[in-house]
Amino acid sequence: LQQGLTVIPFSWRPKLILSSVLDVVHLWEIAKVSGRDDKKFHLTMLHDPQWQPSSAASLRARMPLLDLTALLVLFDLDLINQAVEFFERVAIAKATLETLANLVTPFSGSPMRGKCIALQDALKPHLSVIVQPSITNVQDDEQDTDPLGRENKEIQQLCRNERTSLRLYSDDLAFRVYCAQSNTPDGICTLDVLMALEEVGLLTRNEVASKVSKLCEWRVGLVVRFQELMPLLPSDLAQVKNINQGIQILDASPEFMSVISALWDFRARFEKTLGHAAAVLRRLADEASLPNAALAALLGQWFVKAGMKNDAPPQALGVLTKAITRSALPSTLTRSTAEKLWSVYKALVEYHYRNYMDEAKEREAIRLLGVECAELQVAQPGMGEHVFMGLRQALTEDTSDYSDFASGYSSALLHLRTQSQQGRR
């Protein structure tokens, strides 16, 4: 669990493996201040990069059955009122409310008793619209021998009972999978609800982005879309004059850094963060009116982290050339976007070399980008040429930049093809 190699539902961990953690509320408080390496404490809400939010209408089609994990997340995001207003009626299993009541018992309750009382108080104004379903066919002796208690069994049976038409609302992906007995559960989580609240006007895009940032700060595993990343970019970024100024502005924005540190964590696989960083850069270059120095500062946040990865290219410029070519891959580059990518690349090369930067290093960097295009062409025929042609349009013929880029590409392509032919003999 600590290494991320196995999955155990969040609320089960205190009873099954984390002997120093007394209950799920205690675990949640620990998780929010844990380090990124403390995976045994972390809550995973979503991990499918292809996730798309359901519409508000589809979420309202069935009554949500909230577990304690969802209640804790909603409470800390200050969203209980909005969630109840959105759904109009919600369900909380009777056993869940009993668990919460036991947690506030003096002496024998949770070490986070004050938090549990505050959660109860937040629910009290909505008791008239909270349905409390329960099951009656669980024997007392069966409850006593189940280490997970009645709450787990009750939610499981309520979700599988077709007559209830309840949809599980849990922020624990593993528990949603367990209850559905499927890798594609139909349950929902707070990320679904955040998007729906924005759709109906109960939250603004900026408020949603701020809530997503808070979840990242609490080490919650989730999917962050471009739409939620953009509002977190500091407004001062639009006026930056150089990459150092841009990086300072980004570093001073805790909401942005919470998200980007989670997305581009140096512990993650290089290829995974490369794809995400390149996609963000390309979309910003295509759509945003940010200055090139701001784009370079943003990619610089990834560049610094990516260089620390064990599976990254050994040379820093190799990290950069892969980022630029990957950014240039989707669809056809416009001349304007190609110019921005070149500007970002050159700025980061200069940022890397700092006081040691000179004309020879700049020319070598341009040549290496051509070499990267050639390597891509050999690995994926047609792709490398597509990127090379797209980037070349931003260079002026008969200049050293044009010549260095073209010679780097053609020389490397010839060398790689010769090697390939010799290897087949």
Phi/psi at 76 (5° precision):
-70, -25
The band of 147, judged by pLDDT with boundaries at 50, 70 and 90, is low
Quick one: pLDDT at residue 90? 98
Which strand (E) or helix (H) includes residue 38? Answer: none
Give mean pLDDT, residues 144-155.
75
Quick one: pLDDT at residue 138? 57
Give mean pLDDT, residues 373-395.
97
Which strand (E) or helix (H) includes residue 321? Answer: helix 316-328
Give mean pLDDT, residues 378-405.
97
What pLDDT, in 10s, does the model give residues 332-359? 899 999 999 999 999 999 999 999 999 9
The band of 139, judged by pLDDT with boundaries at 50, 70 and 90, is low
Q: What's the start-to-end Cα distance of the chain, in Å?
A: 49
The two three-digit tokens of residue 300, written as one number? 């610089």
Quick one: pLDDT at residue 423? 64
The band of 195, judged by pLDDT with boundaries at 50, 70 and 90, is very high
Quick one: pLDDT at residue 180? 87
Quick one: pLDDT at residue 298? 98
What pLDDT, in 10s, does the model give residues 75-118? 999 999 999 999 999 999 999 999 999 999 998 899 999 999 99
Distance CA 95, CA 118 (A): 19
What percent of the chain clears pLDDT 90, i.e. is strictly above it? 84
Higher-confidence residue of 5 and 304: namely 304
Distance CA 395, CA 389 (A): 10
Residue ranges of domains in the chain, CATH in brackets: 1-226 (3.40.50.1010), 233-423 (no CATH)
What integer best gives the mean pLDDT of the chain? 93
Give mean pLDDT, residues 222-238.
95
Quick check: 29 pLDDT over 80? yes
Quick one: pLDDT at residue 424? 64
Quick check: 188 pLDDT over 70? yes
Distance CA 179, CA 189 (A): 14
The band of 150, judged by pLDDT with boundaries at 50, 70 and 90, is confident
What pLDDT, in 10s, does the model give residues 31-85? 999 999 999 999 999 988 889 999 999 999 999 999 999 999 999 999 999 999 9
Do the Cβ atoms of 402 and 338 come closer than 8 Å? no
Lowest mean pLDDT among 46-60, 143-157, 213-227, 288-302: 143-157
Question: Which pTM was predicted?
Answer: 0.91
Give mean pLDDT, residues 193-214.
98
Sequence-ordered list of residues with C-beta below 8 angstroms from that of 34, at least 6 positions apart, any chain: 41, 42, 219
Quick one: pLDDT at residue 146? 60
Sequence-ordered list of residues with C-beta below 8 angstroms from that of 69, at least 6 positions apart, any chain: 10, 11, 24, 28, 43, 170, 171, 172, 175
Quick check: 235 pLDDT over 70? yes
Distance CA 321, CA 319 (A): 6
Quick one: pLDDT at residue 141? 45
Which pairing describes strands 166-169 and 130-131: parallel, antiparallel, or unpaired?
unpaired
Which strand (E) or helix (H) includes residue 259? Answer: helix 254-263
Quick one: pLDDT at residue 186? 83
Quick one: pLDDT at residue 105? 95
Give mean pLDDT, residues 261-274.
93
